[in-house]
Amino acid sequence: MLYGVGLSAILGLLWLTLSGNYTLSGDYPLIIMLGILSILISVGITLRMRILDRETVPIVRAPHLIAYWAWLGGQILAANISVLKLIMRPDVDIEPRLVRVPVDLRSGTARCVYANSITLTPGTVTVDVEDDGYLVHALDKSMTDPAGFAEMALRSDRAADGQRTSEDGENS
Amino acid sequence: MYIFNFIIALGMAGAMAIMLSRLFAGPTLYDRVLAVNSFGTKTVLFLLIFSQLVGRGDAIDIALLYALINFVATIAILKFFRYRSLEIALAQMSLRRAVDDSFGEDDEPEDQS
Amino acid sequence: MSAMEVWHYILLAISVASMTAGLVFVLAGAIGVIRMPDFYTRMHAAGVTDTLGAELIVLGLMLQSGLTLTTVKLALVGLLLFLTSPTSTHAIANAAHKAKLKPQLKRHRPEHPADRGPEERKS
């Protein structure tokens, strides 16, 4: 129920942004009715596909995910500048690496956020997704720092699932 | 400000031209797909600046649509060149992938009989 | 000159700085796609364009247009680019990997004419 209302609210905001009709005269009531109808149909299709869960509509974890994005923005800035230096050197001097990063995350959302974060950070791209690890291609040897990957994994795990409790087990 | 936006748009067009040269030169298929995808991103940015230049908000909607079509086209091209068909649903791909992997082990035969 | 005008010019200055930096990143990404030696390294160069270059230019345009519906639409385009670019990059990389395109993993450093010693250059 919460996810249905949340998805309707998000779709309604999207529709209002893209249509930009805020008056109630002339033909606009009809257009607004059509908008409400299309939102209801979209939510109905989502219900029928049975994908209306916390993974599709991550509104509960949204503040944490946005805070994580802010941290990721800083990382992206730093990585962009280092990649820019590598690219614009007068003589190209790179040493590409293909490394396997171990992954121990609790949910699919956390895995998705982690893999996308690795790809978004310039210099590292997730090439293959396996059950217990990602295959990551790095532009230079200096970008395959295990501590950096571990911190990103910890933060994405916390953003998607909250703090680890003792029941989850500290087996990382 | 108009002049500045015009210069930025020109620079974006230059970047698009460079990306087109990679599209024609790219040795593998994946270079070309990458060039098309990156070209699409630059086109979206160019359209955004263009809408500011001519003062028409409609171009932003076109840019939004172009971004969506660019993403879907990249995925569709890759899917077609991997499976040579667009008929397989995405949900069945994991099943198909198992078949692919069993075919892929031809160079290392496992049965020692 | 009122406070509003000063604020307006400050916003325009930030916008100019942001869009110039964005253009630098976009052009650097394009040049990197030309310069890098193999497919996987070119992918990283294209990533520079997709993330910071695009977001900086969208930010600059948002500052120019002020508080209107246009700003919200620009933010929507920026969010869309931010969400779809890693997915398509990963899709291309994964397709190349599954097609058994081997990455070049040794150190790439083409010899520059200035690196040669003076004796070699004479001969």
- List beta partners, residue A125: A137
Task: Give me the residue from C29, C35, C90 closest to A125, CB to CB.
Answer: C90
- Closest-CA distance, B92 to chain C, in angstroms, reads 17
Distance from CA of A14 to the nearest CA of C (A): 9
* Owning domain of residue B17: 2-103
For residues C58 and C77, is the Cβ–Cβ distance under 8 A? yes
Please list every residue in chain A whose beta carbon sits closer than 8 Å to the beta carbon of residue C106: 95
Within a domain: C52: yes
Of C44, C73, C112, Cβ closest to residue A83:
C44
Task: With respect to residue C110, please indicate whether it lies within any of the assigned structural domains.
Answer: no
> What DSSP element (H or E) covers C77?
helix C69-98
Answer whether residue B113 is part of any domain: no
Q: How much is the pLDDT for B43?
A: 92
Interchain pair B82, C16: CB under 8 A: no
> Does residue C36 lie in a domain region?
yes
Show pLDDT as tens, one digit a residue, over chain A (172 residues).
778 888 888 888 888 888 776 666 667 778 888 888 999 999 888 888 877 777 777 777 788 888 888 888 888 888 888 888 888 887 777 888 888 888 888 787 888 888 888 888 888 888 888 888 888 888 887 777 788 888 888 888 888 777 766 555 444 4
Domain total in chain B: 1
pLDDT in tens, C95-123: 888 888 777 777 777 666 566 555 555 44
ipTM: 0.82
DSSP code per residue over A55-99: TT-TTTTHHHHHHHHHHHHHHHHHHHHHHHHHHTSSS--B--EEE
Query: Domain of C47?
Result: 3-99
